[in-house]
Amino acid sequence: MLSLMLAVAIGVTVLVCTSLARQFRIVPPALLLVAGVLLGFLPALRAAHLPPEAVLLLFLPVLLYWESFTSSLREIRSNLRVIVLLSTVLVAATAAAVAVAAHALGLPWGPAWVLGAAVAPTDATAVGVLGRSLPRRLATTLRAESLVNDGTALVIYALAVGVTLGEEHVGLVNVSGMFVLAYLGGIVIGAAVAWVSVLVRKRLRDPFQHNILALATPLAAYLIAEEVEASGVLAVVVSGLWVSRAAPRLFTAEARQYVGTVMGFLTALANAALFVLVGLEVQSAVRELSTVGLVQALVAVVAVSAAVIGVRFAWMFTSPYVIRMIDRRPAQRERRVGAKPRTVVASAGFRGAVSLAAALAVPHSLEDRDVIVFVTAGVIAVTLLVQAPLMPRIVRWAGVSDDGSAERERRQAEITAVEAAIDALPALADRAGASQPHADQLREQFQQRLDLLRGDDSGAAGVARDREVRLAAVAHKRATVVRLRDEGTIDDEVLQQILEGLDFEEVQLRNHTFGDHAGPGSP
């Protein structure tokens, strides 16, 4: 009964909060987090908890898979050094700084390192939602960092928990082996699962089956990797990047559209639900705090938050200069980023559900577990309720925004594709047995599209008028078939089949006629 009530409460909360966020231009994660805290005041939901396995086994793989699938592999390659340093060295430095701060406040070294590992990684879902308005290079760097750094943090976390409980020992060979297994094993398993998935899916024609495999692929990659103690996160990321490269060539258009729609909805809902669940857990952490007083715990939240934010800022304003001293190649000089854009990257270190899941997974036998959970929840709240609302102002101050490079590439690619289609049209028409008038009509339509893409005003006006006529015709056809249903000439099943085609035609006209972004391909 509690699970059903929780599901309904989350659904209503997501609906209300997303509507309010759009209307008042509030960052959705912050509003959803606050709503989750408020839900915790309802007596019926006080017993609700965020199970760590729900995040690590259900939410996380699918969300990371979709984030990696929609990321630019080219941009990741171009910024690989920065991404690797952010997701390894910065994570270790953050965990160490937090451990020092927590120990100075009275936490033993073992629990202090566990806390440091829990709050060290940035959250992929929060970064993905809040970084959409940034230039492609900055957005890709932040997303890729958040996709990979979980692997580093979870290795440190496992080591800290194991040492604290007497199950692990710190040694160069042991630590090195854990990192090699985590990263190399995650890459190999992710690639192997993606290869099998693509091999199976290219033989399928049913979009529903494609959707099942799209959901099963990240879960399989994560579970297999975790079973051998490799990085499940990295396995999921690698599988998503692999499948994204294969999807345009090997999967049908129907499968790509169907799966993209379903995955887009599921990941958007899961993202929103996670923030609500984190909010619920924040209040639960307050209620369960028993080892120390509330004031002392709040002081720890402030200190750890300062360490997390301070280390990130220090990194962004020291490491680039070290790299510049070492690497003086012209290509490196061209890729240098000024102080203001680096301030944006430094301000985007949001924490989220993965950190809280790690804290909740701490064994109850480990001392000061309640403090670890409380401080982790507090740091998440600080980054989402203080940093996130400030991000739009910081972005405006820095003068960085979407530079339009992706739009320019998209337009140029469409121009090239339409030009190639026009050149090949005679041969294609002959092959299909089309008449010359039909081929001429298609050429005229292609030319109108080409004029629009090139910025020809007369062509654009012609295409715009054509679109309005086509939309009006679709609306007239819809009204006609509904009238036929009302008269009893056709039944509801036939009506739904016809409406499906008309709705698809209308969406295509509204979304794609002027080159708006289409959805991503099938994951």
Q: Which residue, of 395, 424, 446, is where some domain finishes?
A: 395
Domain that holds residue 382: 2-395
What per-residue confidence (pLDDT) applies to 522?
A: 55
Q: For the segment 458-500, what is each residue's pLDDT rounded down to a tens digit? A: 555 656 676 788 788 889 988 999 999 899 888 888 888 888 8
Query: Where is pLDDT greater, at 162 or 103?
Result: 103
Mean pLDDT of the chain: 86
Q: Are residues 410 and 481 in the same domain?
A: no
Residues 52 and 190 in one domain: yes
Q: Do 67 and 172 reside in the same domain of the chain?
A: yes
Say whether both 357 and 475 belong to one domain: no
300 and 328 belong to one structural domain: yes
- Whether residue 268 sits in one domain with residue 142: yes
When pLDDT is averaged across residues 347-352 and rounded to a whole number, the result is 91
Do residue 303 and residue 247 come from a single domain?
yes
Look up the CATH number of the domain holding residue 288. Answer: 1.20.1530.20
Are residues 417 and 514 part of one domain? no
Q: Kindly state whether residues 13 and 90 are assigned to the same domain.
A: yes
The answer to whether the CB of 157 falls within 8 A of the CB of 114 is yes
Half-sphere exposure of 441 (CA within 13 A, CB side): 5
Please tell me which residue, 134 or 215, carries the higher pLDDT value: 215
pTM comes to: 0.83
Mean pLDDT over 201-205 rounds to 88
**372 and 465 housed in the same domain:** no
**381-404 average pLDDT score:** 86
pLDDT of residue 512 exceeding 60 = no
H/E run at residue 423: helix 405-432
d(CA 163, CA 459): 70
Number of folded domains in the chain? 3
Are 7 and 90 within one domain? yes
How far apart (Å, rounded) are the C-alpha atoms in residues 284 and 51? 12
Residue 518 pLDDT level (bands cut at 50, 70, 90): very low
pLDDT digits (tens, 9 = 90+) for 21-47: 888 888 888 899 999 999 988 888 887
What is d(CA 368, CA 40) in angstroms, rounded to the nearest whole number?
Answer: 23
Integer-rounded Cα Rg, in Å, for the chain is: 26
pLDDT of residue 87: 92
Higher confidence at residue 467 or residue 261?
261
- Give the residue from 345, 373, 395 where a domain finishes: 395
Interacting residues of 272 by C-beta distance below 8 A, sequence separation 6+: 14, 17, 18, 28, 32
Domain boundary residue, one of 430, 455, 480 = 455
Do 303 and 451 lie in one domain? The reply is no
- In order of 54, 282, 381, 387, the CA distances from 277 in angstroms are 11, 9, 12, 20
> pLDDT value at position 290?
87
Task: Match 């309802």 to its residue by tokens.
Answer: 42
Q: Please report which helix (H) or strand (E) contains residue 138, including its range.
A: helix 136-164
